[in-house]
Amino acid sequence: MKSIIKSKRYSTWAIGKISVLLYMIPILSTAVYGQDKRDLYTLQSDFVDLRFGVMMHFNMGTFTDEEWASPDHDPQKFNPTQLDCNQWADACLAAGMKYAILTTKHHDGFCLWDSKYTDYDVASSPYKKDIVREYVDAFRSRGIKPCLYFSIWDRHNGVENGGQEEEEFVMNQLTELLTNYGEIPQIIFDGWNWKMGHSRISYQRIYDHIKKLQPNCLISEHNGNSNFQTDLIYYEGPKGVFPPGNNIFASQMALTMTNGWFWHTDSPKNVKSLDYTLDKLQRLEPLYCNFMLNVAPNRNGLFDKEVVDRLAEIGKRWRPNMSRLPLPTQPKTINNYILPAGIIASAGKAVTQPAPPANEGSPIAALLTQTDAEVMIDGCSDEIPDNGGFSAFQTYWKFEPNPSRYLILDLGISKDISKLYYLPARWLGYNGVVTKYRILTSIDGKNYKKINEGKWEKNTNLKISDFLSVKARYVKFEILESIDEAIISEIGVGN
């Protein structure tokens, strides 16, 4: 089957339903890795106790001098003639790093493993060998936990705006990564929340699939700074996203050791100082936020000598603070998100803040041009990047002042629900935060019954309302009180 599938690009599928079934075969024959399933808090607590990790951007962009490589480069350009993952692992071990993350696939779609589902991978390059295998073996042998980075957005293989076939493609590549390399403690996604939203490629389906394959694998996302649809919050430092001074969320933050995520010809001259890293470790550790230092291997497939030397210096100077208190009990979240079929709302407007910076050709242009209430169910939780990847903005619905402010979620069919979640816009302070609400449900859209009423604290945290399980197709959310005009970034129901 591999030769058939790899004989064409995914984006040119023409077999219709038969092709979908072919792609689903590996999903139906997978095994679970790992020992007994552990509870989420234990996994999060163990993770933040790792304190210090490395992120390694190594992929096609290394050889093309691009942060976001074009999607149609010749695979022959990828040719690390001296690649040595053992050298990477030794340098990270010397620095005191406890876990690692490798870019198995970036936004251009080139895969560092021999994937059955695309020709655009390392098997088509001069190197040929499975770099993911070499990486996990080298780091695991040194006691460093090997984790994976995976871009949902895949411009080479046509995963741009979601869809059924695109989702199957993602599922199958994740099956490869999570069944062929042993236990993977964490996978971090990119090009999903901010590119197409968790609605077009189903967050719930991907999440459930990963937990079935590896129940102890933590899921992290480039999702801004809330615990909305993620096991671990990821703060992307180069975009100015940092944990607040009172952070208690299990989280991690990444910054680059040189002048970019990927290696560039002048990277050896731009290695950050020893104090730069020590300062970040000191600031983040009390906040239960691991520090990931991005180290980019060069075109030979090695860490530059300047990088190796700096990592050794870090290891000599830094020691974890073992007196830190245990991770606090984590705020409640939702285990099962139900994707609404539609939404209507009382008078208001969709807002993008700051004003849309994207121009024609931007990967997120569609998100910036939303004009209706669906902005509240697009699966994008505020902080997402502009074309180029370095500017952040947020989208939300701002209700007009009115004694009757409401929205109605249509679930498509009647489903059992027991929670409603609401994510405020997070850059506006308390402005727009809903502080008092009422929830009603209906089967037919005409006869509504109140199921809950309550108050929320005046902050921008993800807010959840629990109630006894009820079967409903329509869920009406009434805003009774808010700080100034009510604002909603994301809203939905689940269990």
The enclosing H or E element of 317 equals helix 305-317
- pLDDT band per the 50, 70, 90 thresholds, residue 32: low
Cα distance between residue 480 and residue 356, in whole Å:
31
Structure tokens at 247: 């952070």
Mean of the per-residue pLDDT values of the chain: 88
465 pLDDT higher than 60 = yes
10 pLDDT higher than 50 = no
278 pLDDT higher than 60 = yes
| H-helix segments, 318-364 | none
14 pLDDT higher than 80 = no
How many CA atoms are closer than 13 Å to the CA of 237, on its beta-carbon side?
19
Q: What percent of the chain has pLDDT over 70?
A: 86
Predicted model pTM: 0.89
**Which of 29-43, 221-235, 357-371, 416-430 is the least confident region?**
357-371
**Which of 239-243, 354-358, 486-490 is the least confident region?**
354-358
SS3 (DSSP) at 330? coil
Q: Which CATH architecture is the domain 337-494 placed in?
A: Sandwich (2.60)
Beta strands in 257-403 (DSSP E): 289-294, 337-338, 342-345, 348-353, 384-385, 392-399
Q: pLDDT at position 368, please? A: 66
Q: Kindly state the average pLDDT of the residues 171-181.
A: 98
From-to residues of CATH 3.20.20.80 in the chain: 2-317
Q: Which residue has the higher pLDDT, 168 or 357?
A: 168
| Residue range 2-317 in CATH 3.40.50.1010 | no
Q: pLDDT at position 357, please? A: 52
DSSP-derived letter for residue 139 is H
Cα distance between residue 247 and residue 252, in whole Å:
11
12 pLDDT higher than 50 = no
Q: pLDDT at position 64, please? A: 97
One-letter-per-residue 3-state SS of 422-473: EECCCCCCCCCCEEEEEEEEECCCCCCEEEEEEECCCCCCCEEEEEEEEEEE
Q: Kindly state the average pLDDT of the residues 208-226.
A: 90
283 pLDDT higher than 70 = yes
Q: What percent of the chain has pLDDT over 90?
A: 74
Q: Kindly state the average pLDDT of the residues 367-381.
A: 81
User: pLDDT of 308-353, one tens digit each?
Assistant: 999 999 999 999 999 999 999 999 889 899 999 999 999 999 887 6
From-to residues of CATH 2.60.120.260 in the chain: 337-494
**Which of 3-7, 148-152, 270-274, 436-440 is the least confident region?**
3-7
User: pLDDT of 104-119, one tens digit each?
Assistant: 999 999 999 999 999 9
Q: Rounded to the nearest 5°, which phi and psi values hold at 72?
A: -125, 35
20 pLDDT higher than 60 = no
Q: Kindly state the average pLDDT of the residues 464-475.
A: 97
User: pLDDT of 443-454, one tens digit each?
Assistant: 999 999 999 999
Q: Kindly state the average pLDDT of the residues 294-317.
A: 98
- pLDDT band per the 50, 70, 90 thresholds, residue 5: very low
The terminus-to-terminus CA distance of the chain in angstroms comes to 39
DSSP-derived letter for residue 154 is B
Cα distance between residue 294 and residue 123, in whole Å:
26
Q: Of 12-16, 22-26, 437-441, where does the model show the most confidence?
A: 437-441
Q: Kindly state the average pLDDT of the residues 30-59.
A: 88
Q: pLDDT at position 227, please? A: 87
- pLDDT band per the 50, 70, 90 thresholds, residue 292: very high
Q: pLDDT at position 367, please? A: 64
- Nearest to residue 223, comparing CAs of 212, 214, 215, 232? 232
Q: pLDDT at position 225, please? A: 67
